[in-house]
Structure 1
Amino acid sequence: MSAETKKTSVRARADLSSAELSSALAFAQLESKGREGDEKRRGSTPLPPNMPDRRRRRKSVADIHVPRKQVNMNVMRFTMRSIDIIAVVTIITLGIWNGYVGANDNGIIAPITAAVLGSFFFISLLFMNRAHRFRPTETFIKHLKTVLLASAGAIGVWLTFALILRPDSFLPDALAKAGLAATALLLALHSLYYAETRRLHEKGALSPTIVMLGATESARRIIEENAKTRELNILAIFDDRLTRAPLNIHGVPVVGRVEDLLAWDKLPFVNRIVVTLPSMAEERKQAFVNEVRLLPNRIAFVVDEFETLNHVQQRVSEIAEISMRDVSGAEKSGRHLAIKRFVDVFISSVALILGAPFLLIIAALIKLDSPGPVIFNQPRHGFNNRVFNVYKFRSMATEKEDINAAQQVTKGDSRVTKIGRIIRKTSLDELPQLFNVLKGEMSLVGPRPHAIGMRTAGKASMELVEEYAHRHQVKPGMTGWAQINGSRGALESGEDVARRVRLDVDYIERCNLWLDLYIMVMTLPVLLGDKKTVR
């Protein structure tokens, strides 16, 4: 190669390097502008010819997967504990009874005492060892070891106490056999528990769904710790300062502003909104809370202690208990929710079985009275603003049905059929909602579900009262505190809406099993004694 050729080649390579460097600088500048610019302008600047688009895009709420079918872990724990208590008491009582009766002429006092002690020690040690925790990262072998350790400890303490308290009637063989039988049963039950909780964890149905407000250091620390324990399903982060926010924090995307959160159609399936702004941003934190506090979702914010808490080895659930403070929607206990659900299923099942002939008669009368379907479906807001179809006996002429409740029923309303007037006056049109209760969309007692878009005095009812959405913090009910206190039927003014919301929120704050039973007992006499309400 000649000297001239070499010089030409060197210049060509230099020109190529300059071109590549210029392209790289151009790309870097475009990427920088894209990160700092508004989201609406992102990706609109054309790239240089022949350059692939390698810019990273910010995800939107449409890219976030939210599990729709969710299971409350507190309810599951209460149910599993209840099953364990029943199983342990039953098998130990039967084992002790068979081994003790007739022995040493002691009658029933010795077996009862032994059974009570054995059951108490087994249940206590299971609870103390947190055998019903079922952490997402816990292996099957480790969980069975926890159950086995608790059972072995219970047998040892039980035998020791029995020997000390009643040495004259102590039958170690009977106690040991009953204890081993209880251990075997618990291992079998907890194998089933583990399989079910593992299945639900893999579907994302068991871990609480979380969104965060604020792409901050506190958010980063929570996300990092959750990556180890996987106890929370952190879906996304929202921040009004998108120009300063990263695209994601350890894989959790920063997807939009608060206004995007409020308009998100998957928001009803979010369990908790966590505000993660530090104390130095108190004004900004309050602005966030003011924007979301009227939602039915539980809202919490990170308090000052979290910023200095050494939590490297602590679990995310423990951090939440120490570091977060509820702003609205305090969660009900698993015991309360499980018992309420049991009562709902039991009473609605019995009512449907015993009342089936009566329901068929009403259906036949509706069919004979006017053409059209017997059942009327209407979309309504339920728990957390989730939309479901409520079932009612049709009481209006089919061609005059008002699916959006734009016009509430008035006295002498021409839309109501002859049979419709009777079943509306007696609230018999609500009986098909027993199926909604069985499906878990409603409860027997709770705030009455209003139609989506319902209007009062020409305005959307939900716009008349700021706290309107708070009535959706629990499942809607067939009857409720408002209904037995005079707020039944159509809402004719803003004052009517405010009074019902106030009564519904009062129920949510006070609700318990005894209040529910009282409301159910009082519903019929209040209903029959109400001659004025238009329904």
Structure 2
Amino acid sequence: MSKIDLAIAGTPSRQPATAAFQRNARLWLSLVLLLADMMALAAGFVIGLRVAGIPILSMEVWQPLAGGILVYGTIAFHNQAYNPRCLTSMTASCRSAVMAFAGTLLIFLLVVFSLKVTDNFSRLGISTGLFFSGALIVMQRVLVVRAVRRHFAEGLFAQLLIIDDGLIPDDVNGMTIVDAPTLGLRADLDDPYMLHRLGMLLRDFDRVVISCPLERKADWAQMLKGGNILGEIIVPELDPMAPLAVQSHRGVSTLVVARGPLNLANRAKKRLLDIILTVPVLIALAPLMIAVAVAIRLDSPGPVFFRQERIGRGNRLFHILKFRSMRVEQCDTAGATSTQRDDNRITRVGRFIRSTSIDELPQLLNVLLGEMSLVGPRPHALGSTAEDQLFWQVDRQYWHRHALKPGITGLAQIRGFRGATETRRDILNRVEADLEYLHGWSLMRDIGILVGTARVLVHRNAY
């Protein structure tokens, strides 16, 4: 068995049917919410048409209205109006829908006045339709939220309670409970395999609550921050954990210490950008990659690709792919020794592909597999050190980077923070840049980083 297999051996998981049901329930309820919005818009304008005395089946009326409904759906999705939170929070649901409706109305008015077709529309019908459409949208959203709360309560989200010698809340109905000592799970920030074990346990859950003694709370908080999940710790008092919020869980005080940095819509945008760019780039670079593979085989014996364990999103381990640039017998799979200038382990072909960053191209396959993104914090080898300290020992915030998928390039790279990590400052610069990216993500920033990467493909620190 590999180390990864050993790390997850004996780890209990949720019943697949239960986890799938909760995911499917959220998806279908979101679709119901979308359909209800469309019906509310249509019904509101039917009322407006009847009041204005306009035939309901007139195509001249329904064509622009259908366009307006489509625009509303697009704005509403972008505005998180179909986020799972809108299924349980009346305020969030109505606010998102009203903002989307206002945006649609603004676009409608701009188009109408730009095309100078105001005389073609009944002002009475339009104003009546807008009033009833807005009212029906708010009304149906209130009804949907009440129905979801009544029929699903807290069963709409998968919740995990990890007990690490801590108190057990009185009300644990609907939660999956795990006893950490029995499972061999502990808050060990110096063990990447333990973090991987926790990541594998959390992957089917939407929320995790930790109950542990005071002296372990800070370590559990650090472990959860990179877990890409809503994480909370049961506490009777406030500790220096940089909490995101204070909440109450089943009558027990909790500190929220982690949330996934990107919501569903933003993750979809980022993944779509990855796919749209990666597929054509792989096709275009296929001849180059084949030529490099042949050159590597002719230059030195051994495989074309170098595979190494790295830490990905949610602190889960994956195998990164690179073109092999070192002699097989001298490859450092743990990454304990940083590559130096004029490193004698590097082959002739390896020196060229490293200096031009061509050795990173196979990571496009990692992107296609969903293990990496084009832009994100660079994943490091488990044994990487700075001044004889492992990266996570230099700065405990290092683990926070893993709330996002690792990237082929990132903010740290375009700022020139790459190459050997000889001092603590070398890794601190990268962590600071990665956290800045994590907390200020936007799609345009990803595009800007990709453009900026073209300027640093050949860099003095690339060797």
Bin for the TM-score computed over the shorter chain:
0.5 to 0.7
Cα shift at 1:426: 1.1
- For 1:462, the aligned partner's letter is W
TM-score, normalised to structure 2, is 0.63
Cα shift at 1:324: 5.0
Partner of 2:295: 365
Q: Structure 2 CA distance, aligned partners of 1:210 and 1:446? A: 30
Cα shift at 1:288: 3.2
Cα shift at 1:441: 0.8
Deviations 1:150-197 (A, max 9, x none): xxxxxxxxxxxx999659xxxxxxxxxxxxxxxxxxxxxxxxxxxxxx
Aligned partner (choices 209, 222, 241) of residue 274 of structure 1: 209
Q: Structure 1 CA distance, aligned partners of 2:82 and 2:391? A: 47
**Residues 47-446 of structure 1: matches in 2 within 5 Å?**
63-66=10-13, 77=27, 109-116=60-67, 207=158, 210-213=161-164, 215-216=166-167, 219-221=169-171, 223-224=172-173, 226=174, 234-238=176-180, 258=186, 263=194, 266-271=197-202, 272-276=207-211, 284-285=213-214, 287-295=215-223, 296-297=226-227, 298=229, 299-302=231-234, 325-446=255-376
Cα distance, 1:393–1:452 mapped onto 2, change above 3 Å: same
Contact 1:214–1:275 (8 Å) recurs in 2: no
Does 1:527 pair with 2:453? Answer: no
Q: Structure 1 CA distance, aligned partners of 2:83 and 2:75? A: 12
Q: Structure 1 CA distance, aligned partners of 2:75 and 2:405? A: 33
Contact 2:326–2:350 (8 Å) recurs in 1: yes
Cα shift at 1:483: 0.6
Cα distance, 1:131–1:415 mapped onto 2, change above 3 Å: closer
Q: Structure 2 CA distance, aligned partners of 1:330 and 1:132? A: 14
TM-score, normalised to structure 1, is 0.55
Partner of 1:468: 398
Contact 1:213–1:274 (8 Å) recurs in 2: no
Q: What CA RMSD, in Å, does the superposition of the two structures yield over aligned residues?
A: 4.7
Secondary structure of the 1:113 match is: helix
Does 1:477 pair with 2:417? Answer: no
Q: Structure 1 CA distance, aligned partners of 2:318 and 2:73? A: 43
Number of residue pairs matched by the alignment: 353
Deviations 1:507-535 (A, max 9, x none): 1111121111111111111334x3x2142
Contact 2:159–2:208 (8 Å) recurs in 1: no
Q: Structure 2 CA distance, aligned partners of 1:404 and 1:333? A: 33
Contact 2:299–2:347 (8 Å) recurs in 1: yes
Instruction: With a CA cutoff of 8 Å and minimum separation of 6, indicate the structure with the bigger relative contact order.
Output: 2
Secondary structure of the 1:293 match is: helix
Cα shift at 1:293: 2.4
Q: Structure 2 CA distance, aligned partners of 1:523 and 1:442? A: 17
Partner of 2:435: 505
Deviations 1:328-354 (A, max 9, x none): 345421111111111112211121122
Contact 1:410–1:534 (8 Å) recurs in 2: no
Cα shift at 1:116: 4.0
Contact 1:471–1:504 (8 Å) recurs in 2: yes
Mark the runs of 5 or more structure 1 residues left unpaired by the alignment: 1-60, 93-102, 135-161, 168-205, 227-231, 240-253, 278-283, 305-316
Contact 2:414–2:452 (8 Å) recurs in 1: yes
Cα shift at 1:291: 2.3
Contact 1:445–1:479 (8 Å) recurs in 2: yes
Contact 1:64–1:236 (8 Å) recurs in 2: no
Secondary structure of the 1:527 match is: coil
Larger of the two Rg values belongs to structure: 1
Contact 2:233–2:254 (8 Å) recurs in 1: yes
Deviations 1:79-122 (A, max 9, x none): 9759978xx89xx9xxxxxxxxxx99x99752323324666899
Cα shift at 1:501: 1.3
Q: Structure 1 CA distance, aligned partners of 2:29 and 2:441? A: 20
Percent same amino acid among aligned pairs?
A: 30
Deviations 1:308-366 (A, max 9, x none): xxxxxxxxx9969x975422345421111111111112211121122211211111222
Contact 2:357–2:462 (8 Å) recurs in 1: no
Deviations 1:440-459 (A, max 9, x none): 11111111111122233333
